[in-house]
């Protein structure tokens, strides 16, 4: 039995090839669209991320700019009677206003009140100030009572108000008033001699919060 030979017409083959090419073109276009969509999605995602990052960073930048505008000693004297100044103390009740000198020596104590120990003015810790027992310096701090106010000004000309919470006397060898254990608070300690330098008058004050 002879096998039947099927003849395929050339126009049919040509049409089939055209159809396959057409399908291939559609597929390529679709893939390009998918890639473009993916790329655009990534761009949008990146923009959102950048926006979020900027939202987080911007406040810090603003705070930094504010901080940079504060210039130390811009509106505050660097020296007083030849000594470096680290701050100013004001005691309204006693009508005392004195620049605080950085070092404590016999000579500097003649010029003004001095820093004995502690952090910078108005920083966390116990800022200790010594002064001679003269009326124009610390001679009258024995008159201060619990509740009286002390104003401290730093070298950026910023003020913080402190309130007296204790007054007492100690022997010259007792240095417990200089302790820096303040539980994270800002404190000020005033120190001067009693008459005859037998003891020391101590005034302790702590920051007042609004």
Q: How confident is the model at residue 42, as a pLDDT?
A: 43
Which whole number is the average pLDDT over 156-183?
Answer: 97
User: Do 165 and 205 contact (CB within 8 A), yes or no?
Assistant: yes
6 belongs to a structural domain: no
4 belongs to a structural domain: no
Which of 45, 69, 93 is the last residue before a domain boundary? Answer: 69
pLDDT of 83 above 90:
yes
114 belongs to a structural domain: yes
Q: Are residues 51 and 134 in the same domain?
A: no
Per the structure, how many domains does the chain have?
A: 2
Q: Are residues 50 and 135 in the same domain?
A: no
5 belongs to a structural domain: no
Q: Are residues 38 and 121 in the same domain?
A: no
Q: Are residues 126 and 165 in the same domain?
A: yes
Q: How confident is the model at residue 11, as a pLDDT?
A: 53
The mean pLDDT value of the chain amounts to 79
Q: Are residues 89 and 22 in the same domain?
A: no
Sign of the dihedral defined by the CA atoms of residues 177, 162, 135, 99, in that order: positive
Dump pLDDT digits (tens) for 116-142. 999 999 999 999 999 999 988 999 999
66 pLDDT tier (thresholds 50, 70, 90): low
Where is pLDDT greater, at 208 or 47? 208
Which whole number is the average pLDDT over 37-57?
Answer: 39
CATH number, domain at 195?
2.40.260.10
Q: How confident is the model at residue 67, as a pLDDT?
A: 54
Cα dihedral 143→146→151→154 (10° resolution): 110
74 belongs to a structural domain: no
Q: Are residues 57 and 143 in the same domain?
A: no
Where is pLDDT greater, at 149 or 197? 149
Q: Are residues 202 and 118 in the same domain?
A: yes
Domain span holding position 37 = 12-69
Dump pLDDT digits (tens) for 12-34. 555 555 544 444 554 444 444 44
Dump pLDDT digits (tens) for 101-112. 999 999 999 999
Q: Are residues 147 and 124 in the same domain?
A: yes
Q: How confident is the model at residue 69, as a pLDDT?
A: 79
pTM for this model (two decimals): 0.68
The three-state DSSP-derived secondary structure of the chain is CCCCCCCCCHHHHHHHHHHHHHHHHHHHHHHHHHHHHHHHHHHHHHHHHHHHHHHHHHHHHHHHHHHHCCCCCCCCCCEECCEEEEEEEEEHHHCEEEEEECCCCCCHHHHCEEEEECCCCCCCEEEEEECCCCCCCCCCHHHCCCCCEEEEECCCCCEEEEEEEEEEEECCCCCHHHCCCCCCCEEEEEEEECHHHCCEEEEEEEECCC
């Amino acid at each position: 039995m002879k096998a039947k030979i099927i003849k395929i017409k050339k126009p049919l083959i040509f049409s089939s090839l055209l159809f396959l090419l057409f399908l291939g073109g559609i597929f390529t276009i679709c893939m390009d669209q998918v890639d473009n969509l993916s790329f655009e999605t990534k761009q949008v995602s990146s923009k959102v991320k950048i926006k979020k990052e900027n939202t987080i960073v911007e406040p810090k930048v603003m705070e930094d700019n504010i901080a940079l505008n504060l210039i130390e000693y811009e509106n505050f004297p660097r020296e007083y009677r030849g000594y470096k100044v680290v701050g100013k103390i004001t005691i309204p009740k006693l009508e005392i206003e004195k620049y605080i000198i950085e070092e404590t020596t016999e000579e500097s104590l003649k010029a003004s009140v001095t820093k004995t120990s502690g952090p910078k003015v108005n920083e966390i810790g116990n800022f200790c100030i010594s002064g001679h027992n003269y009326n124009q310096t610390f001679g009258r701090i024995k008159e201060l009572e619990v509740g009286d106010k002390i104003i401290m000004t730093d070298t950026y000309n910023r003020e913080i108000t402190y309130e007296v919470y204790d007054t007492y006397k100690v022997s010259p060898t007792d240095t417990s008033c200089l302790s820096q254990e303040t539980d994270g608070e800002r404190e000020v300690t005033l120190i001067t001699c009693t008459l005859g330098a037998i003891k020391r008058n101590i005034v302790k004050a702590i920051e007042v919060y609004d």
